[in-house]
Each structure stands twice: as structure tokens, then as C-alpha cells.
Amino acid sequence: MPIMNIIQAVNSALRVEMEHDDSIVILGEDVAQFGGVFRATQGLLEEFGPSRVFDTPLSENGIVGSAIGMAMYGMRPIPEIQFVDFIYPAFDQIVNEAAKMRYRSGGQFTCPMVIRTPCGGGIKGGHYHSQSPESYFIHTAGLKVVMPSNPYDAKGLLIASIRDENPVIFLEPKKIYRAARGDVPEGEYTIELGKATKIREGKDVTIVTYGAAVHDVLEAADEAIDEDQIESTIIDLRTLSPYDIHSILDSVMTTGRVIIVHEAPKTCGFGAEISATLNEKALLYLKAPILRVTGFDTPFPYIFEQEYLPNTTRIRKALRDVMDF
Amino acid sequence: MPEEPVCILLPDGKVRKGNKVPDIGSEDLLRIYRVMLLNRRLDERMIKLQRQGRIGFYVGSVGEEASIIGATFALEETDWIFPCYREVGSLLLRGFPLFELCCQLFGNSQDSLQGRQMPNHYASSKLRFGSISSTVGSQIPHATGVGLASKLRGMEDVALTFFGDGATSTGDFHAAVNFAGVYKAQTIFMCRNNQWAISVPSKAQTASESMAVKAKAYGIDGVQVDGNDVFAVYEVTKMAAEKARQGNGPTLIEAITYRLGGHTTSDDPRLYRDDVEVERWEKKDPLLRFRSYLLDTGHLNGEADTTLEKEIKEELKSALDKAEKIDPPTIDTMFEDVLDDTSWHLEEQRKELGRVLKAGNSQQKT
Amino acid sequence: MAYEFKLPDIGEGIVEGEIVKWLVQEGDHVDEDQPIVEILTDKATVEIPSPLHGIITERNGQDGEIIEVGATLVVIEEDPGQDKNQLKSSHSSTRATLPDRKKKSTRESVLATPAVRRLANELGIDLSQIESSNADGRLTEEDLMRYQESGDLDPRQTDKFSHGITETTPYRGIRKKIGDHLSLSQQTAVHFTYVEEVDATELVLLRQQFLSSKGNEDNRLTYLPLLIKTVVQGLKEHPLMNSSLDEENGVIQLKNYYNIGIATHTSDGLMVNVIRDVDKKGVLEISKEITELTQATITGNTKLENLQDGTFTITSLGTLGGIAATPIINYPEVAVLAVHRISERPVVRDGQVVIRHMMNLSITSDHRVVDGTVAAQFIHHIIPLIEDPSWLKSELGN
């Protein structure tokens, strides 16, 4: 089985799907000849031609807005937004149009499409190349939101998203685009949307996380076993909306202690939602307050990137805090 | 671009010198007239119903019927329409049943939208009439998308989108027309310049000398047309549709018309515009103009017109009476169609609401 | 019919309007859609049309007065032949009224996490009786376990308990063993109790017939041996009821032998004597064995082997048997049956109220292994065997 990074896995998923479904088109800024600024669509123009892979004028609302029309017409557009930090001009088209088309038309019109976009910090990109705005989309009725943490999941989740009948926001953590490598099958396979994966099992604490933070959590959890004698269960959510509450609950009912780790700012971040839901569903199992290790409620700072992002030190501190409570 | 807007029928219903009426058979002429008249009577009736508290809201199209129905008639029935929100005439021309239309206004269980949208926010995939959003201009890129998809797929379908003068100020208008120009999308941009975006006059939307002139900047054709002349609107749209179908790119049409009524039932135009202006436009009324032409040319006579009025009144009454008696949709429908299947949290919330309503009901019984 | 026409919300959230000008007088006849009044709202001045044909019999408010949305504007005596029922407001809402609050919390304020509260609840411990060993005053699981294990040995707690208590009995020996065992059961098994009633009239008759027949005058046959034989029939049909859960190895052990525990009350507390292989024994044999074991228990001569290896337990409180209970499983068994007092009760048979000997059965099962449905099916398997006990006649030599 070939070893791929996330970029290659995304590219492979697009290629595999485009080969057997000619309704799929890729559009976005610099996606065709240039192959995308991160090279995720490299080689696809050559393989599928300009009617399947094409560059657009520089306008996010134009990209998503036309993709909606194309989806209504029966195609499967996969628009790329170059950085999620630039998605806001398309915000109305996503939340008011794509997300609501099925509901408001009584199911007569649908908008199956995958909006692919790199997200998150860690590349010294400052405020406009580092944001994690997933909560806006999780908060929006009518969307699915996905964020993989490794190449295998990236490919399986992307194929599942393309085949999904709903608009999907597919967030690709750019910090680990090339750093995360692993075995990825050449052919097609899917990972069911809405299902989390338990990547580590431990009796003391449940850590709920997703995206690039998964890697920091793994490191912190390993350190905590040796140095603090704390054993963690790590749940990688993979799909953020609708998220897999059952996997979280199963673990929390055993451990009784939870920390949630994400890059996005704390207030009204996804951790707040998970925490509130556990409060509703698993209160009697909780032995300590649920703690969040997240980005801060500031704009994304250029120079203090490492301090802003959840790191192993902050994660280990939280692990100790819930254990020693 | 011609200096004068394209015009065939003068306000008095006479054919303008040197112009020829389009080749439309008598039966179709009467069909167009009937839908224009029905549109007018529907609006009048529904505004009254709103004042009586029987429907919550209404958006009328009085004075703009020719620009809507003329453009729709110029399209193939398989062409797509992306409406703004005053285009009930398009639906009526394509045969949308009056009863279903009334069901939408009441938001009852026979409404295909299940009462999820405000009155007038219709949708019909069968009639290729897009779903209406209240956000101004957001439908314009969708028409670009369909026009582009049709082209990419080698199809002949054309997409026409209606929008008002206010919408030309939005980013979506700019992006959509620009994209369509770049890709030569099979799209028609039909700007119904009805002179007012609620209380802001057309002149305050732009420093451009017209809306049509904006086309030039996007490298596409732009044309002004007398929006109250159903023939002129038809001719111009027909040409734009054929051009698009042949792969020769999109057209921006500016139909110059006037909103004789309020923006919606929540509006009072007397607060911001002159009665004199309204009276001036009333003289250009598209319905009266077309009727004069039909009477003059013998396609219609006074007796037939009276019969038609009576028929329409009856049709309206019967559709309304039937629709008004129908119950609202069941509460469960509120949770459907959010996604293609119901996810756990929606299912939980549906049950939670069900339990609260049930508890309340059993309490009321005791 | 008079129709009250109320001022509707005519502009997306309007709450009131000013009457600019009435266009009709009381006594006027109006047609449907005929303007009746001009109203000025925050948003617009609009003419309100009549929803019906009829005569204005009442007109509320004068020109210049403010009228609230929802207030009656006019009353119209409608012309005959109109269907006014179809006029419904587009703004109707269906807000539900909640039923009265049933339970009011009187819980004292104790500092403890939800998990500790749950544990205390399961152990039946009142948290307000425990003192915290933590500086911040919070009760922890450790506090709870210490309290649980120490009984009244903790001096601080003894102080607390001794107010108003005139006598104390030590919690130790068999009493404590029973307590520990029940706690273990309660903490480990997921208890689920199901109660059903059974018509025991025929069983009562069967026993009476046996006791009154020749040669049996001195026999002390109780219902218990008859019920044990019946229960075995049910266990054979529902083997899960006769199993135990081996959590360590992750298996459920289904047993092919039937050792029925009989909960017996002694002065020291509850003892469970086990009658082995009851499926291979006759009713009278079982009866004799119960008598012997009970005697030994009461006199303190019970052998350990008589208390071991049960697969299912029956508890009977005899005449104190009550109508329902939540018996605690004799861990590691997975089910326990409580048989209650047989008493005459009025019941309906063929539409008539008749007096029958009725008995209730309470079954508790470990929900981890035995679903409620299985326990219920088990009960419903033995009910017909009790209601028609003719199959036991041969056992009794009839």
C-alpha cells in the first residue's frame, strides 16, 4: 500500500471519484493549471480536461454561488476555497442558500457539493491563513462538516463527502497537510460520515479532539502515561456535524473525566457544544468539570502562534487538572 | 446599445411606428393576457387577505407583470428561472395550480414547502422555477451556475434570473455576471428596474447611467427594454435566449418598469414617493396597454374580457376557499429535509418537542 | 351569527395602530373586501377590508384612538350562507401548558460531583450525613467508600448519629456479610424489577386436596416446593434466567443444573439455603429438604455447602409477603423471584366480579444479561403453570 500525505490522499480521492462520476467538476482559484496553492488538485486538469477542472475569477461568493446552480442542475461540484479565512464572502451563499435549499424547497431542490478548504494554524500564516471557523458551519442547519486528521481518513472521508447528498464543508488542516503520512489504499473506500474513531484507549480521561490537534493530543497522552500515570482514551471526531455523540458518551461513562481539545477559539467553540451535551446526557458520570484546551478568544496572532495553539503542555496540564480535581 | 429602450407597444396599446409585433398566435396572446390579469387580481385579493389577518405577508407584482410574463413566455418550458420574489406570473404561465399557490400562502399541509417559507417564497423543481430566498441578489450566481453547467454538459438549457435594481449593487450580482461573462454561460440576467428598492430610488443605487450599461464592463451585451411592453420584453428575451443557447454568451437585460404597489404588505410607499410619479406610471400600466392592443386588434372583445374577469374571480375564490380550510402541516415536518436523513440531534429535538406538546395537551384535557 | 373582527398584525410585528378614519358607520352593510377603516401603524397607513358580507353592529374606537392588535375592531352580523369557520388567523400559535410540577427538590446543599451523587444514590447513602475529608469541604468517592465500609465506626459519624438514638446494634458478622453481599450485588448487577399477578386459586385447591387426603394429615407441605417445581419449568425454557455473568472472561455462563436458593429469615438476618438439582427431585422430596435446611439454619447448624452454588433464588415473606417488592439479586446469579402473599381479591372473570385467590410475583433480573422482556416472558411462562397446576398432581401421588 502506498504511503501518502494528506495532500496526496485528497488528490487521490478526487481522482478516484472523478474517474467514475463525470458529473464531478472542480472549480476554484488556481486549482486548474497550477494545481491549487497547496497542490491538492495537481494533475487533474491534465487528466480530466478544462470542462471538469477549471480556474475561477477571484470571488468566493461567485465560486460557491455558481457551484450551487451547478449542483441544482445535477452536477457534483467540488469548489475549493483557497484558505478558509477567505470563505466569508461566500458565507451567505453557504448558510442561506446551499444549506437551506433542501429545507426551504420542501426537498425539491438539493445541493450536493463539497466545499474543500484548508484550515487551522501552524504555518506562520497569521490571522488570514490560520483560522478555524468550523463552529459557524456546525451551527448552521443543513450542512455537514468534516475534518480529517490523517491521510487515510482524509481520502475515505472525502469520498464519502462527495457521495453525500448534502452540502459538506470539508476542512483540511494545513499544518499536517504534508507532516501526516500513512498508508492509503490506491482505490476507492469510504469512511462513514458522523462516525468518530477511538485512536487510543485508557481508563482515566476521555480526550475529544479532531484535526491537527489530534497529533498534539497523542503526544501529550503518551507523555502523561509515563510521567503522570494518566491513561487517556482519545476520540478523533472526524465528522463535526453531525458528530458522534455515542462514541463520546460510551467513553465518558467509563472514565468520568473529559477534556476537549481544538484550535478554534474557546467561546462558543465546538468544545462548548460537546461540553453542554455531556452535561445533559452524562452528568451523573462526571467526576470532574469538563475542561477545554483551545485557541484563545483573540484574533489569530502571527508571532505567538505556538502559544495560541493547544500544545502538549496545556493538554497535559488539563489532564492533571481533571485527574486531581 | 440603442439609445432608446426597445419598445413595440406604446402606452396606449398602439404599435410603435416602424416596429412589428412578434409572431405570437392569438391563443397564446390570450394566454399571456389571462395570466397577466390573473396575476393582477391575485395580488389585489391577497393584499386584502393580508389586511384581514388571513395570511401573514404578501409580495405583489402590480405594474411589473409584462416584464415577468413576457420574459417567461420567451423561454422554453425546460429553461430554468431563478426568481427574485415577484415572479408568481412565471409560475402561473407555466401552469402552477392556483390551489397549490394558495396553499403556499397559507403554509398548510398541502403546501409543497410544508409551511417552511413566508408567503410568495415559492419553489417548483418540476417547473424549473428556483427556490426563493429573501436575501437580495443571492439567486443570481445560481443562474450562472445552471447556465455554466448546461454549457459544460453540452445541453441547450438556458437559465434566466430575475432581480431588481437594488440587487445590481450586491456582490453576488457582480460575481455572477462576471463569471457568466468569463465562461460565456447560457444565462440571461433580467433586471426589473422598478425604480425603487423599498424606499431607495434606482438613481441612488448607482452612478451608472443605466443598469444595462454595466454589461459593458463585464464584456457582455446589455440592453434596455420597456418593461411594461410585453412584446418588447418577449422579443429581447427571445433573442438573448437564442444567443445563449448557441453558445454566444449571456445578456444583461434592463426592463424599465415601475412597482405600482408597496414593496410588500409591510410597506407604505406614500411615505417616500410622490403620488404624481405613481400616476405617471399608472398611465403606462402594462396590463391596460396589452388589453388595449388585444381589443384594438380584435383578439379580445369587451364581452370576452368580462367573462374572463368573472372566471378568474371564481377560480380565485374556489382555490382560496379550498386552501384556507386545510390544516397546517404536522409538527414533525419541521424536522424533515434539514439533511437527506435525520441525524440524532434532530431526532432528539423532535421527540423533545413532541413530549412538551403532549404534556401540554394532556394538561389541557384534565 | 355575529363575527368579531380583530385587528390583525398587518406588518410583521405590529402591536397597535391608530384609527385614522372610519369608512363605515354602525348599521352599515358591508361587502367582503370593502374597506372599513384606515389604520396608521408604525410601518404604514393601510385600509382594512371586511372579511365578510354583513352589517356592522359594533364599531370600537374613535378616529385618532389607538387600538391594539388582537382587539375587536368591529362586530359584523354576517349575511346568511357564509362559512366563517374558514377565517382563521395566520398568526395562530399552539403554545402548550405544562402540567403541575410534581416533585419539589428539598435536597440540602452538599458539595459533591454528579458521579459521587450517583454513587451515593445507588448505595442509599444520604450525603448530608457524611463529613468531607477534603479541605474544600467536597465529598469524594473516597469519603463515600470510607463511610460505607466503616459503618458507625467513624467517631465523627457516631457523634452525628447518636443524637436521638437510644440504642445501637453493632453492624458486623452475618449482618455485615449480608449487607456487603447485597451492596456488591446492587453495585454490580443492573437491577430491573417486573411485577405480575397470578390467579393461584387452583393451586390453593390442589394443596388443600392433598393435605386433606388420607395419610397426609400430618404433612406440612407449603406452596414453596410447588412453586420451585414450577420455576424450574420456566428456567428450562429461558436458560438466561439460570445463568451468571463472568465479566473477567467476558462470557455468560448458562447452567444446565438447577440449584434453587430459598431465602430464609433468621434472627441473624437473611440466609439463602440452596436446594440442589431440583429438576431431578419430586415435590415431596423438596419439601422435606426445605424443612431440614430451615431447621438447621434456625438452630445455627447450617453447613457452608448448603449455602453455595445456587443458580436462581426464590424469596418468600410468607404472610408478610406484601403485594410487590424489588428483591435484590443473590449475586452472581442474574435473577431473583419474590412470591407474595396469596389473598382473596375481587377480580373480573367473564364480565363478573368474582373472588379469587390472587398472588403477585416480583422478578428482579440483571439487565446486563437478562432484558426486561426475557424476565417478563419467564413470568408469563410460569403463570399458566400456576393457574392450571393439574400437571403437578402426579407429583403429589394423585
Q: How high is the mean pLDDT of chain B? A: 95
B114: pLDDT strictly greater than 70:
yes
pLDDT tier, A27 (very low <50, low <70, confident <90, very high otherwise):
very high
Average pLDDT for C269-288: 88
Contact partners for chain C, using 3 or more CB pairs closer than 8 A, are A, B
d(CA B36, CA B45): 14
Q: Does B57 touch chain C (CB under 8 A)?
A: yes
Average pLDDT for B159-163: 98
Contact partners for chain A, using 3 or more CB pairs closer than 8 A, are B, C
> How close does chain C come to A288, measured CA to CA in Å?
7
Among B22-36, C113-127, C259-273, where is mean pLDDT lowest?
Answer: C259-273
Nearest CB to A61 within list B111, B116, B175: B175
For residue B223, CA distances in Å to B213, B256, C148 come to 8, 11, 89
A69: pLDDT strictly greater than 90:
yes
Closest CA relative to residue B346, chosen from A300, A172, A142: A142
Among B349-358, C15-24, C212-221, where is mean pLDDT lowest?
Answer: C212-221
pLDDT tier, C130 (very low <50, low <70, confident <90, very high otherwise):
confident
d(CA B266, CA B50): 10
Give me the helices (H) in chain A, please.
6-20, 44-48, 60-72, 91-92, 101-104, 134-138, 151-163, 213-228, 245-255, 270-281, 305-308, 312-323
Q: Do A287 and C118 make contact, defined as CB atoms within 8 angstroms?
A: no
ipTM: 0.95
B322: pLDDT strictly greater than 90:
yes
pLDDT tier, C14 (very low <50, low <70, confident <90, very high otherwise):
confident
Average pLDDT for B63-85: 97
CB-side neighbour CA atoms (13 Å) of B89: 32
For residue B25, CA distances in Å to B30, B33, B232, B308 come to 9, 12, 16, 19
Q: Which of residues 267-296 of B touch C (CB under 8 A)?
A: 267-268, 270-271
d(CA C181, CA C328): 10
C398: pLDDT strictly greater than 80:
no
Nearest CB to B141 within list A61, A108, A245: A61
Span C26-71, pLDDT tens digits: 999 999 889 999 998 887 888 899 998 999 999 999 998 999 999 9
Look at residue C120 in the predicted model and tell me its pLDDT.
Answer: 85
Look at residue C110 in the predicted model and tell me its pLDDT.
Answer: 83
Entry pTM? 0.76
Look at residue B331 in the predicted model and tell me its pLDDT.
Answer: 93
Q: Over the range A229-264, which residues count as b (16 or more CB within 10 Å of their CB) and which as e?
A: ebbbbbbbbbbbbbbbbebbbebbeebbbbbbbbbb
> How close does chain C come to B157, measured CA to CA in Å?
39
Q: Do A102 and B339 make contact, defined as CB atoms within 8 angstroms?
A: yes
Q: How high is the mean pLDDT of chain A? A: 97
**Preferred mutation among C90, C94, C98, C101 to probe B, highest tally of B CBs within 10 A:** C90
Percent of chain A scored above 70 by pLDDT?
A: 100
CB A144 within 8 A of CB A169: yes
Q: How high is the mean pLDDT of chain C? A: 83
d(CA B188, CA B88): 18
- Beta bridge partners, A178, equal none
Span B214-228, pLDDT tens digits: 999 999 999 999 999
For residue A172, CA distances in Å to A5, A139, A157, A266 come to 12, 19, 11, 20
Residue A242 with chain B: CB contacts under 8 Å: 339, 343-345
Residue A169: phi, psi to the nearest 5?
-95, 115
> How close does chain B come to A17, measured CA to CA in Å?
18
pLDDT tier, C174 (very low <50, low <70, confident <90, very high otherwise):
low
